[in-house]
Amino acid sequence: MSMHETEKSVHYASAHGHAGTHEQEAVRHTGKHKKKRRKMNGKERVGIVFAVAAAVFLCLMMFVNMKIFPTETLDQNGSPMRISLMEKFRGWQPFVEIEGELESKEYSMEPKKDAEGVPHGGMVDDGLDLDQIQEGQFCVLFLGTDESRSNTDVIMLVMFDIRDNQIHILQIPRDTFVPGYTSFEAGKLNSVYTLGNPNKAPVQRVVDCLETVFKVPIDRYITTSCSDIGQIVDIVGGVPINMPYKITYEADKIIEKGEQVLNGQKAEWMVRFRHDYSEGDIGRMKAQRIFMAAAMARAADIGSIEMLGYINKIVDKKLVGSNLTVDEMSKLSDFATSIGMDKITMHMLPGEGYNYEPPNPQTEITSYSIWMMHKEPTIRMLNDFFRPFFEDEKDLPIVELLRPDEYRSTTYDEDMADFQAIQDGDTFEGK
């Protein structure tokens, strides 16, 4: 074969080789096109997203409900019982670090046996599944301390009458006379927190005093400083209120009359202001009723998720002490917001102001202004509203310095007003 013919053969083979390569590439490309998947439409993508989300949610629910956390309670085999993450969260006490737990104790009060719908023994399911001393009722002690956290300037008992869908709040003047429970010679209740039984925690001292004097079992407590109330109000975004009168806390610290939203600073002025009231501390307690009614209405507008966010902020700032669990706070809050403002009633502790002279003065002060309880009206009020599922008490260890026929005022022996009436301005008669 000539060289020219050889070159033609090589060129021919090379050409056909390239052609073969192109054909193979075409086949491969064609194969790829045949295997390419169809694009999903919008509905299919949404369906897959929901399916994945549902799977993740189910896995999460399985995890939080798995009983993996040991408790102090032992089962029949002597092994620690376990609870789930959800149960652990519900039992979380976010504020208990500040004041601690209350002591367990036995109570001498007898449960009612003749109340309508209450079987023998006085126990009936109230539907809230709370860890309470007496089924049907749940009592919370609220204490507001001064700046130094030494005296309790605000003292209230909040009784949740769960079976009858009522809440009763007892306002207790800070100067209430309780001799024997404090080393302060004036015997004032507001000093029990600091100067009470030295062998007990501060909040336990107040609980023991009130449970003994009133014969009302206290399930839980809440404490805060009056100066911290302002921070709490700011955290929840303020409290809408219709002020029935003007307050001049100081020359440049004024709360105007009329509708407005109180910020934290103004809320603190309102709950602490007392100097211009003709009734002094009692006038301040009336103003606190107005604030509490407005604060309750604000709380009713807060959703559960939003409230949890507020709780986290309050915990971080250590503004509140309490042995309430998250589950109890949720259930009691739902109960309070569901019954209506006209079902929440505030009561003043029956009594009158009195100038008390200690028999053996320890200081140069020979006379103290105290709040002397009126015994029989106090017993009657507690039996009617704060001991709904216990037998009535006939006597209480209340110290009176005057006989009933010597009382100088009975104005507050039947003093009560519901939150709706307070909001409507029907119960405030001015300063």
pLDDT number for residue 310: 85
Instruction: Quote the tokens at residue 295.
Output: 């604060």
Taking CA 310 as the corner, what is the angle to CA 307 and CA 313, rounded to the nearest 5 degrees?
155
Residue 114 has a CB neighbour count (10 Å cut-off) of 8
Phi, psi of 392 (to 5 degrees): -60, 140
DSSP 135: T
- The Cα–Cα gap between 132 and 148 comes to 32
Structural contact between residues 122 and 112, judged by C-beta atoms closer than 8 angstroms: yes
Could you write out the DSSP letters of every residue in 162-225?
TTTTEEEEEE--TTBB-TTS-SSTT-BGGGHHHHS-TTS-HHHHHHHHHHHHH-----EEEEEE
Q: What is the dihedral of CA 373, 375, 380, 384, to 10 degrees?
A: 40
CA distances from 423 to 293, 345, 404 (A): 6, 12, 34
User: pLDDT 10s digit of each residue in the chain, 431 long?
Assistant: 444 444 444 444 444 444 455 555 544 555 455 555 666 666 666 666 666 766 665 555 454 455 554 656 666 666 666 644 445 456 778 888 889 999 999 888 888 876 665 555 555 677 788 889 998 899 999 999 887 788 998 999 999 999 899 999 999 999 999 999 999 999 999 999 999 999 999 999 999 999 999 999 999 999 998 788 889 999 999 999 998 888 888 878 899 999 999 999 999 888 877 655 445 567 778 888 888 888 888 887 887 778 778 888 888 888 999 999 988 888 888 898 889 889 999 999 999 999 999 988 888 898 999 999 999 999 999 999 999 989 999 999 999 999 999 999 999 999 999 988 888 876 544 33
CA distances from 43 to 38, 39, 40 (A): 14, 12, 8
pLDDT number for residue 369: 93
Structural contact between residues 245 and 290, judged by C-beta atoms closer than 8 angstroms: no
pLDDT number for residue 67: 55
pLDDT number for residue 44: 63
Strand 344-348 versus strand 166-171 pairing type? parallel
C-alpha dihedral sign at 175, 177, 181, 187: positive
Ramachandran region of residue 100, left (φ > 0), alpha (ψ -120 to 50) or beta? left
CA-closest candidate to residue 338, choices 289, 300, 302, 288: 300
Instruction: Quote the tokens at residue 131.
Output: 């860890």
Instruction: Quote the tokens at residue 267.
Output: 């809320």
- The Cα–Cα gap between 261 and 291 comes to 11
Could you write out the DSSP letters of every residue in 226-248?
HHHHHHHHHHTT-EEEEESS-EE
DSSP 397: -
Instruction: Quote the tokens at residue 162.
Output: 């769960």
Structural contact between residues 422 and 289, judged by C-beta atoms closer than 8 angstroms: yes
| Structural domains of the chain, ranges and CATH numbers in brackets | 43-85 (no CATH), 137-423 (3.40.630.190)
Structural contact between residues 137 and 158, judged by C-beta atoms closer than 8 angstroms: no
CB under 8 Å to 12, separation ≥6 — which residues? none
Strands (E), 77-129: 80-84
Name the residue with tokens 């001991």.
387
Instruction: Quote the tokens at residue 109.
Output: 């009060």
Name the residue with tokens 């669990």.
325
- The Cα–Cα gap between 83 and 280 comes to 52
Structural contact between residues 285 and 171, judged by C-beta atoms closer than 8 angstroms: yes
Instruction: Quote the tokens at residue 248.
Output: 């001049």
Per-residue pLDDT of 195-214, as tens digits, reads 999 999 999 999 999 999 99
Structural contact between residues 191 and 177, judged by C-beta atoms closer than 8 angstroms: no
pLDDT number for residue 216: 96
CA-closest candidate to residue 357, choices 349, 365, 346: 365
Structural contact between residues 345 and 169, judged by C-beta atoms closer than 8 angstroms: yes
